[in-house]
Amino acid sequence: MAKQTAANAATKVAILGFGTVGSSVAQLLRGQKFPGIELTHIYNRGVERKRTGATAKGLNSGIVWTENIQDILKSDVDVVIETIGGIDPIEGWLRKALSSGKHVVTANKQLIAYKGAGLAKLARENNRVLVYNAAVAGGVPVIPATLHGLQGDRITRLSGILNGTCNFMLSHMEQGAEYADVLKQAQAAGYAEADPTADVDGYDARAKLCILVRAAMQIGINPDEVPAQTIRNVSAVDFAYAKELGCTVRQIARAELRGGVLRARVAPMLVPKSSPIAWSHGTQNMVVTSGEFGGDVVFSGHGAGGNPTAVAIVSDLLAVVHGSNSVALPVKKKTVTGEFMAPHYLRFIVRDKPGIVSAISGALTKVGANIDSILQRPGYPKDALPFVVTTEPTLTSTVEAAVKAISKMNTMLEAPLCLQMLVDDDRAED
Does residue 366 have an active-site annotation? no
Residue selected from 328, 374, 413, 428 as contacting a second copy according to rule CB under 8 A:
328
Q: Which stretch binds a second copy (CB under 8 A): 191-199, 239-247, 248-256, 321-329?
A: 321-329
CB of 345 to a second copy, least distance (A): 25
Among 318, 371, 409, 412, binds a second copy (CB under 8 A): 318
Question: How many residues contact a second copy, by CB under 8 A?
Answer: 52
Q: Please pick, among 50, 208, 243, 332, the residue that the annotation labels catalytic.
A: 208
Using rule CB under 8 A, residue 327 touches a second copy: yes
Is there binding between residue 302 and a second copy (CB under 8 A)? yes
* Site residues (CB under 8 A) for a second copy, limited to 145-174: 145-154
Q: Which part of the chain contacts a second copy (CB under 8 A), choosing from 10-18, 210-218, 316-324, 401-409?
A: 316-324
Q: Check binding of 379 to a second copy (CB under 8 A).
A: no
In single-letter form, the type of residue at position 345 comes to Y
Residue 179 C-beta: closest distance to a second copy, Å? 28
Span of 170-178, 262-270, 311-319, 401-409 interacting with a second copy by CB under 8 A:
311-319
Binding characters for a second copy, 129-148, by CB under 8 A (x = yes): ----x-----xxxxxxxxxx
- Closer to a second copy at the Cβ: 271 or 418? 271
Does position 293 interact with a second copy (CB under 8 A)? The reply is yes
CB of 373 to a second copy, least distance (A): 28
**Using the rule CB under 8 A, is 310 a contact of a second copy?**
yes
Note whether 322 binds a second copy by CB under 8 A: yes
CB of 95 to a second copy, least distance (A): 24
Cβ proximity to a second copy, 330 vs 381, nearer residue:
330
For the CB of residue 7, give the shortest distance to a second copy in the complex, in Å: 11
Residue 270: name the closest of 249, 254, 286 by CA.
249
Among 218, 315, 337, 407, binds a second copy (CB under 8 A): 315
The three-point CA angle 185-187-192 to 5° equals: 120
In angstroms, give the least distance from the CB of 297 to a second copy: 4
Q: For 54-116, give the DSSP string.
A: GGGTT--TTPEEES-HHHHHTS--SEEEE-S-SSTTHHHHHHHHHHTT-EEEE--HHHHHHHH
Binding of residue 28 to a second copy (CB under 8 A): yes
Q: Does 320 bind a second copy (CB under 8 A)?
A: no
CB of 216 to a second copy, least distance (A): 11
Q: Which is nearer to a second copy, 307 or 411 (CB)?
A: 307
Alpha carbon 290 to its chain centroid, in Å, reads 18
What is the spatial distance between Cα 296 and Cα 240, in angstroms, rounded to a whole number?
29
Amino acid identity at 80: V
Q: At closest approach, how far in Å is the CB of 14 from a second copy?
A: 17
Question: Does the protein bind a second copy through residue 299 (CB under 8 A)?
Answer: yes
Q: Kindly indicate which of the ranges 303-311, 350-358, 396-404, 410-418 contains the residues binding a second copy, using the contact rule CB under 8 A.
A: 303-311
Give the one residue of 19, 272, 276, 338 binding a second copy; rule: CB under 8 A: 276
For the chain, the three-class secondary structure string (H helix, E strand, C coil) is: CHHHHHHHCCEEEEEECCCHHHHHHHHHHCCCCCCCEEEEEEECCCHHHHHCCHHHCCCCCCCEEECCHHHHHCCCCCEEEECCCCCCCHHHHHHHHHHCCCEEEECCHHHHHHHHHHHHHHHHHCCCCEECHHHCCCCCCHHHHHHHHCCCCCEEEEEEECCHHHHHHHHHHCCCCCHHHHHHHHHHCCCCCCCCHHHHCCHHHHHHHHHHHHHHHCEECCHHHCCECCCCCCCHHHHHHHHHCCEEEEEEEEEEEECCEEEEEEEEEEEECCCHHHHCCCCEEEEEEEECCCEEEEEEEECCCHHHHHHHHHHHHHHHHCCCCCCCCCCEECEEECCCEECEEEEEEECCCCCHHHHHHHHHHHHCCCEEEEECCCCCCHHHEEEEEEECCEEHHHHHHHHHHHHCCCCECCCCEEEEECCCCCCCCC
| 116 in contact with a second copy (CB under 8 A) | no
Binding site for a second copy (CB under 8 A): 3, 24, 28, 33, 133, 139-154, 276, 279, 291, 293-302, 307-308, 310-319, 322-325, 327-328
Positions annotated as catalytic residues are: 208
